[in-house]
Structure 1
């Protein structure tokens, strides 16, 4: 497998060191150093084709790394997969089922393949997994009649048949309607609250922002940023204030006097903390700004403090656009 990862801190559920996967001359994954904290909901973010699924396949032993190493739940992979995989639930590259069998029958066959799962409690496990993903009403329906979203939920149910320390979900909201998306988001949060680490690969920025505590950003096979969601937002630059007012010139002058860098934005004035340098200087408190504007005779119709978004950070890192909604 190449260079092994030195034993790392046990607080990491996933750890990679210079993980590389080549297909011929193409580097699908290029020297990636991931650090996924235990108990996190970790968003693995990037456009389609950025190397996310290939990385996941290597972590699960479905592909071999060309160079570098990885540890999952404290065990080096692929050497320790026999000990690791029973503690990992995964949904990768979309679920596949027997179309002429029901959802229940498919899960029963899947559970039978798990030599660690006692047959005496199989029916209970399958029922509980279907209930968790909201498919109890369709348990007896043949999978060929399932919508794409229902198949996606059934795949997640398969990953939840046994208790898991780590859930790896590749595009878990693919094909789901808004209600189904909310249910999956709630499910992910509940799994993390129960102590599991959830590793969510997605190209949907809005979903990652709403469900994840930590984020890594991939671009063209390389890891360009990672950290907590708050850290990545802060690294995108300074916060800004938006003032809606008919007195744009007077508002801009007062904001500049307070050390902000104002610019017109339609019927508002947008001003970034940190002045012309654009650094992350905290600047005056919002209430101080409002008092100063009113004292200067500015008619304030609206006032908001806007933090840097993950989308802005992504664009700054990669220069690419992004899917921000389904």
Structure 2
């Protein structure tokens, strides 16, 4: 595992901000770290990087205990946490030169080339000489990612990497994250944008009130949720019997009081893990003489799964 925690907890006075978290981030994953405001995401990230001391539990990053081996781990990790901060009256290039010079393991001989490469990779070459106070929020975000890429990294930790980006910038960061993973890095992405996580992540974990309520491959997280089928047929009685036999008690759906000309609409909900393949359901219906005139499957989205697990929606202003 690239990141592994056991019983990780953080207490601020009487408040337990992170409560007994067992996190497992596989090598090479694009790992989405999800949760509403105040769920403990940023506090957890700070403990992973040795920026905050844990009250209890253990942390392992890149196979080494943290914070005990911090000086060996951090040179192999690139991070953007809680938004980037730069010298406003220096250019983007000058800021990266200063930040790189602060690193004990950064090679001065290759600094100019590495800075130029990082700026090009995040699409800021055209603004490299512009003072940062003139950068938009999205440009500052991309400059922060460029800083994380100044040296080859085995692990990238990105806290809200698409914050402030326009649609084009969001697409660029999405493509960048995929390319980093393709190059063999593990990317740990904290985000409240569920649609983004679903598009770029292979694995995810969901935090709620300081506790880890679910984690694993995205496909497994969805599989643990519910799936709804919608069936249009004039043979509602027979169809109901078949669906009941398949473990999906049906309901008649009047579709807001508007009758369907081709029959009745039946809906049924089942746990995705227990749902038969859609083609098998249709085959059973047809074998029983049911005339299927419409059939659709709606799988629970990651957002719906999140709400089911936490009972909360996202605070977009996080």
By the TM > 0.5 criterion, same fold? yes
In structure 2, the partner of 1:126 is 115
Unaligned segments of structure 1, at least 5 residues: 1-11
**How far 1:76 moved relative to its partner?**
0.6
Q: For 1:173-220, what per-residue CA distance to the aligned partner results, in whole angstroms no more than 9, with x for missing partners? A: 111111111111111111011100000011111111111111110001
Q: Does 1:262 align with 2:256?
A: no
Q: Distance in 1 between matches of 2:159 and 2:18?
A: 16
Shift of 1:292: 3.9
Contact 1:100 1:142 in 2 (8 A): yes
Measure, in 2, the Cα distance between the counterparts of 1:141 and 1:123. Answer: 16
Aligned partners of 1:269, 1:51: CA distance in 2, in Å? 42
Query: 1:209-288 residue pairs with structure 2 within 5 A?
Result: 209-237=198-226, 239-243=227-231, 245=232, 250-251=235-236, 253-258=238-243, 259=246, 260-263=248-251, 264=253, 266=255, 269-273=266-270, 278=271, 280-283=273-276, 285-286=278-279
Q: Secondary structure at the match of 2:86?
A: coil
- Quick one: structure 1 residues 22 and 123, their matched pair in 2 at CA, closer, same or farther if it must change by over 3 Å? same
- Cα distance 1:31–1:107, how it changes in 2: closer, same or farther (>3 A)? same
Three-state SS of the structure 2 residue aligned to 1:50 is coil
For the structure 1 residues 132 and 256, does the alpha-carbon distance in structure 2 shift closer, same or farther, using more than 3 Å as the test?
farther
What SS does the corresponding residue of 1:153 show, helix, strand or coil? helix
Q: Hey, what does 1:296 align to over in structure 2?
A: 290
CA gap of 1:159–1:251, structure 2 versus 1, over 3 A, is farther
Q: Is the 8 A contact 2:9 2:54 kept in 1?
A: yes
Hey, what does 1:314 align to over in structure 2?
306
Distance 1:222 1:292 in 2: 43
**Given the superposition, is the C-alpha separation of residues 183 and 28 from structure 1 closer, same or farther in structure 2, using an over 3 Å criterion?**
same
Q: Quick one: distance in 2 between partners of 1:319 and 1:102?
A: 45
Q: Aligned partners of 1:162, 1:251: CA distance in 2, in Å?
A: 63
Once the two structures are superposed, what CA deviation does each residue of 1:11-55 show, in whole Å capped at 9, x if it has no partner? x11111111111111111111111111111111100121100001
Determine if the alignment matches structure 1 residue 102 to structure 2 residue 95. Answer: no
Instruction: String of CA shifts for 1:134-162, please: whole Å, max 9, x gaps.
Output: 11111111110111111000000000000
Whole-angstrom CA distance in 2 between matches of 1:323 and 1:253: 45
Pair 1:297–1:233, CA change in 2 (3 A): closer
Give the secondary-structure state (helix, strand or coil) at the position aligned to 1:216.
Answer: strand
Show the counterpart of 2:26.
Answer: 37
Aligned-partner Cα distance in 2 for 1:76–1:314: 31
Q: Distance in 1 between matches of 2:210 and 2:98?
A: 36
Separation in 1, partners of 2:254, 2:189: 36
> Following TM superposition, by how much is the alpha carbon of 1:290 offset from its aligned partner in structure 2, in angstroms?
7.1
- RMSD, aligned CA: 2.3
Output the TM-score relative to the length of structure 2. 0.89
User: SS at 2:199's partner residue?
Assistant: helix
